């Protein structure tokens, strides 16, 4: 289990709210957490952003091999989503199912895909791996 925490007395909440809106904050926060988790929990690291039409956010490469390469080889896929506050119609399990379906657009690569959904009001992170069968 990983825990991210900070001393709330050191946070300038007004500056935080000026910098991020209700849409950007969860997405950027989820992205930061997901990129750390993928490195810590798998043998992968994010190597580059993906184009929107692929249904994923990042292409993944082997974390031990990619460190000194300019163009590392792609080995996996990553889709990330953030939820500011869980509500009955927007729960992490619903978002995971939606994102799994979305990632099918790049299944022709045969690379495994990770879906990471971060829900901030609880907080909880869900990470799921799906393998493509050819």
DSSP string over 32-92: HHHHHHHHHHSSEEEEEEPPGGGS-SEEEEETTTGGG-SSPPP-EEEEEEEESS-BTTB-H
Helix (H, G, I), strand (E, B) or coil at 124: strand
pTM of the complete model beyond 0.75: yes
The rounded percent of the chain whose pLDDT value lies above 70 is 85
What are the residue ranges spanned by the domains of the chain? 21-130
Name the fold adopted by 21-130. Answer: Trna Endonuclease; Chain: A, domain 1 (3.40.1350)
pLDDT at 96 over 90: yes
Write out pLDDT tens, residues 7-46.
666 667 677 667 777 778 889 989 999 999 999 999 999 9
């Amino acid at each position: 289990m990983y825990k991210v925490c900070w001393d709330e007395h050191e946070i300038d909440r007004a500056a935080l709210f000026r910098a991020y809106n209700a849409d950007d904050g969860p997405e950027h926060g989820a992205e930061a957490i997901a990129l750390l988790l993928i490195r810590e929990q798998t043998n992968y690291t994010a190597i580059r952003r993906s184009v929107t039409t692929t249904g994923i956010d990042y292409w993944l490469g082997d974390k031990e091999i990619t460190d000194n390469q300019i163009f590392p080889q792609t080995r996996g896929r990553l889709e990330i989503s953030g939820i500011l506050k869980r509500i009955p119609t927007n729960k992490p399990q619903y978002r995971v199912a939606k994102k799994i379906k979305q990632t099918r657009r790049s299944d022709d690569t045969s690379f495994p895909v990770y879906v990471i959904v971060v829900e901030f009001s609880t907080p909880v992170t869900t990470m799921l791996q799906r393998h493509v069968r050819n």
